[in-house]
Chain A
């Protein structure tokens, strides 16, 4: 997207002019470099339109003249006179390596098709770090500043058992890339419940409730907003998890029906994701002015009563 006309977002804002890959681009003051990207196909993982920039994954880095290191396009504000290069050798290398390091340590198989495409385009070779180490059962209790010295025969991963401790959603942290989106969605950026936090440090960092309590013993209210922002399928509804486990998951057949939630008077837009005549997930568009993509437990999970399923397929 090239923004050449003034974009008025709630009041008149000054425009700043920067150069992106040799082309002059004008964006409103306060916009990020990502907002100014011409083709809209910068890889992003920890960024989401409905969250404040998190700046953790570093897959969106670009070269800015005068800066010794690469800068995160999702978080850095555009400045007048900035000269940005999004496709230099350095940029391509860092993007490839970020994706490759993630793919070598995390199960990315349920990340979006965009992610799969970026991995292809940047030439990711996750296998060159050696065979993946077997799943670990101690990832929730590792102590900061201590690890077992590796001999390098296998590549350490975050593989671990799936956490299923409630009826509504599962936490499959073998797929977690530590993008912090769920933490932000649960906390300051949407839900203000603060049920989960990043815990531990370094490669042993993880998303956790206090003392690793099961979700029913935590502050979680099952709004599912963390699921809504998770980019890799680490967090997903029990219905999706079970269908996938049963080999009965068919995204290619999925239809999406838009409706309005009838539980209360707020008027949240709902998108009902339907496979084989069954609602499998409920989301809300991130650009919707009421929800910004976030819902509550009723809109997210309260769809059982509209399912008109044959007896044998009811839960």
Chain B
């Protein structure tokens, strides 16, 4: 395979015919560059897509009541449905083993202040499992726990941004007291949330405390649960639907009423996303393959032209004793070298463009556009193959040239 003399011949032929070499290389460089950029953009789009869902747990189901829109069982339309603690007990009793986390959630916008700093935040009264649903994790102190709930203590876990807003730099909020809607709450921890600034401006307090101090009732605004991750997507969708039916029945909401009981099921969304990102994949693959084929056809044409242009030279070589196999290897290796080198160059430019453009693309919903090394290896192999395909037919044609035809003086 490695024959220094052969490569010397090939390099000379490429070097002395620079324009020809560059032109044929350019086609491949361009095709691979487009391929890389398209693939990268496609990946970026998919990244954006999945990041929409990363901020919360994938297996969450949210249930909340609303006004009915249909009269049913003697109840008027427009009735406001309300959830209470017993609705949570109902889930515990009826769906054992089907969920791994369950919380009540009452969310209000309230003024929170520390010394002279104050601002409005979403103060969310919850059960401790909320941290798994929101994927929040403490960066200092701890999260709300069952003991806080049992004691109905006035403790609060605040988001990173809340601490940043209210507390002077370098001062930890943990252990300090903040004023929440007129009452002093002790900060027991600061958390971060992949939901970003928005969800890091949340603060969590025990649901029991909230039910006691704000109205002394057992109302629940929203129930969140985590379905058992062992379930398949289809099973989880069915589970969500069953809960919707059961809750409608329980609260005397018409089965056809779209609004009385609302259920948002991540599993259903995952089904949708799967389809969308599958379609996205298909589009990217089709476009990329199209680009590559165009590149291969391009270089193939150029190789045909090159062989035609070199007919006389190849005829001379044959008259001087070049075997057909040596003509084939010469043309083939030249094509192979040009495609792999030019392709690699295209890959570099493509990834360079992606890297350069990445920060400017976020507003077009393209996040971290990049191609992974597996794809790069795949593309490289594809290039070698396309080089061989592109070079083989013209090379065969070249080897078949009859020296007398090539050398005829006209």
* A and B are partners in one complex rather than unrelated chains: no
